[in-house]
Structure 1
Amino acid sequence: MTDDGAVLTIRATGRRPALCCVPAISGSPYPYLPLAALLDADQPVLALEAPGFEDDRPPAGSLPDLTAGYRDTLRRVRPDRAYALLGWSMGGVVAYHLAQRLRADGLDVPALVLVDSVVPTLMRHPEGAERTTRFVVDLLATSGQPVEPARAVLDGLPAGSTPGAAFTALVRAGVLPEDLDHSFLLHRYALFDAHLTALSHYRPTGGYDGPVTVVRAAESPADLMRWDGLAADVTELVVPGDHYSIWRGEGLVALGRALRRCLSGTDTDDHGRPYAQKGTADEWPPPPGGA
């Protein structure tokens, strides 16, 4: 596993197009680390990192801006002619838009996998204290930490409490892991808040005619993940668990099976020709504008 700045390379080699994982609302590439043990040995895997997650780059101002940055990063770090895309949660929405951009550039997207991703126009976006709670729950649940003690502290705060006041209360109550101090929470909340705002303003247009697989957690609402209105070729697979537990235990095993199924036919293009492991600037030049 190597880290190339804004890309975490989980597995560098393999004959198939790289599986490029788009981060969820946290901006973190690390939830995708378990994929190395789940997928076939000939499947390259990399995970993108959002601007501002662990560097001084400002958060993207809109979902199209975020997508454009990811596209440029992919073309710079791995200038292939085909990319399989996967996104969990908000990452699925960004992956959908990224797939549109890559195909518009003349690149192939042999697989687009949306893992428990709600259609953006069907979302209800939290505000105020509810947004702070959503951030804390997401931060803890993503790493498998208990959320109820923190939720109880947040529920007991005065109406109108700021995120900073909420984080002070959580740290004082001792309900968070020790490494989640006040400054860390403020930093990560700023990125979460920027991403949620970008997501709330995004309206997908243009449709998508490539293959899409929606992998839904069994405990998630099916009616919020009806991507068939935005794509012509949608397959739904259901795995046990909820939005977070699918990355652990039985849910993770089932998720691995689903992903292997999605990626099993991605080693050849639409004409049955094998993809090269890596493109070169001469064989497949970057689209106008550079990488």
Structure 2
Amino acid sequence: MTVGIPPDRLRLLRQLRQSAAPVSPVAADTTVVVKPDGGQPPLFLVPAVSGSPYAYLGLRTLLPADQPAVSFEGPGLSGSAPPSGSVEQLAAHYLTAIRRRWPHGPYLLAGWSFGGTVAFEMAHQLTAAGARVVLLALVDGAVPGTFASPDEDEVAAAFTRDLAGYGITADALEPDVRQRRYAVFRANMRAYRAYRARVWSGPAVLIRGATSTEPTAGWHEWCRGPVVERVVPGDHYSMWEPASVGAVADALSAAARTALAGE
């Protein structure tokens, strides 16, 4: 049993992983269908530094009936693939899965926390390949910058804080789960510190928690196209809890509708 995760949410996560269409080894290993129904282009939800799509599962019943949503399980959490070594590599990994499900666009991308940085890079890679990104939603994510690579003590402390945000302690995890989660977290944290952003000229939506302390203010330096800002209740983690996640769903739904209105 995974301690700290409600049994109903844990069952749903397992069911969604099993329901991913095995169209390729990459898609079967990483794709988690959060909401399968709907005729609109899928909203692709990029995981945070943990590599887990868990936070997004609360959106399943809150998104509009016509809006499907797909997330991913980061490489290294399960299966034989190792964690990715860079944001660019991780973005390319997720894009391989995306293109097998939705090869021609338009593309709706959203990412929470570290996932925002990966979605940002995915938008660049899609655009460079000639694809159309009509939505880039950055959800309460710290702005990329110039940072020193973290040492092991810093990674361990950040890993413990991140688990605490979900109500989990490291000691409560099964050893294999803890080892995998730590390896993914460490790889992603180092990848974030090494990433060098470049200006995005397309549309962007910045969603932040009203009481979050994440340093989100600098995204305007990198997002030079039309930018819309939305504030939702909660902090970096509590924004995904039942009392607040409806506002996140509303913000994402409104952004998707606006992005697709001109299609």
* Aligned partner (choices 89, 103, 123) of residue 127 of structure 2: 103
Pairing of 1:202-213 with structure 2 (within 5 A) = 202-205=195-198, 207-213=199-205
Distance apart, 1:203 and its partner CA: 0.7
Q: Quick one: structure 1 residues 61 and 125, their matched pair in 2 at CA, closer, same or farther if it must change by over 3 Å?
A: closer
Amino acid at match of 2:71: A
Q: Quick one: structure 1 residues 267 and 234, their matched pair in 2 at CA, closer, same or farther if it must change by over 3 Å?
A: closer
Q: Quick one: structure 1 residues 123 and 258, their matched pair in 2 at CA, closer, same or farther if it must change by over 3 Å?
A: farther
Q: Following the alignment from structure 2 to structure 1, what is the Cα–Cα distance between the partners of residues 203 and 130? A: 16
Q: Which of the pair is proportionally richer in helix?
A: 2
Pairing of 1:65-80 with structure 2 (within 5 A) = 65-80=89-104
Contact 1:15 1:267 in 2 (8 A): no
Q: Which residue of 1 aligns with 2:51?
A: 27
Contact 1:123 1:224 in 2 (8 A): no
Q: Which residue of 1 aligns with 2:140?
A: 116
List, as ranges, runs of 4+ consecutive aligned residues in structure 1 with deviation greater than 6 Å. Answer: 122-125
Distance apart, 1:222 and its partner CA: 6.7
Higher RCO (CA < 8 A, seq sep 6+): 1
Q: Following the alignment from structure 1 to structure 2, what is the Cα–Cα distance between the partners of residues 257 and 125? A: 36
Q: Secondary structure at the match of 2:176?
A: helix
Q: Secondary structure at the match of 2:39?
A: coil
CA-to-partner distance for each residue in 1:213-264, whole Å, 9 max, x for gaps? 1111112247543211101222211111111000013321221221122112
Relative to structure 2, which stretch is displaced further, 229-238 or 73-82?
73-82
Q: Which residue of 1 aligns with 2:5?
A: none
Q: Secondary structure at the match of 1:121?
A: coil
Relative to structure 2, which stretch is displaced further, 9-18 or 35-44?
9-18
Q: Following the alignment from structure 1 to structure 2, what is the Cα–Cα distance between the partners of residues 13 and 35? A: 13
Q: Which residue of 2 aligns with 1:3?
A: 20
Contact 2:46 2:71 in 1 (8 A): yes
Q: Following the alignment from structure 1 to structure 2, what is the Cα–Cα distance between the partners of residues 240 and 126? A: 31
Answer yes or no: is 1:215 the counterpart of 2:234.
no
- Aligned-pair identity in percent equals 37
* Aligned partner (choices 213, 228, 231) of residue 235 of structure 1: 228
Contact 2:50 2:184 in 1 (8 A): yes
Contact 1:122 1:224 in 2 (8 A): no
* Aligned partner (choices 91, 106, 109) of residue 85 of structure 1: 109
- Count of aligned positions: 238
Distance apart, 1:124 and its partner CA: 7.8
Q: Which residue of 1 aligns with 2:183?
A: 190
Q: Following the alignment from structure 1 to structure 2, what is the Cα–Cα distance between the partners of residues 216 and 185? A: 29
Amino acid at match of 1:198: A
Compare CA radii of gyration and give the structure with the larger one: 1
Q: Which residue of 1 aligns with 2:260?
A: 267
Pairing of 1:149-168 with structure 2 (within 5 A) = none
TM normalised by structure 2 equals: 0.83
Q: Secondary structure at the match of 2:61?
A: helix
Contact 2:140 2:216 in 1 (8 A): no
Q: Secondary structure at the match of 2:20?
A: strand
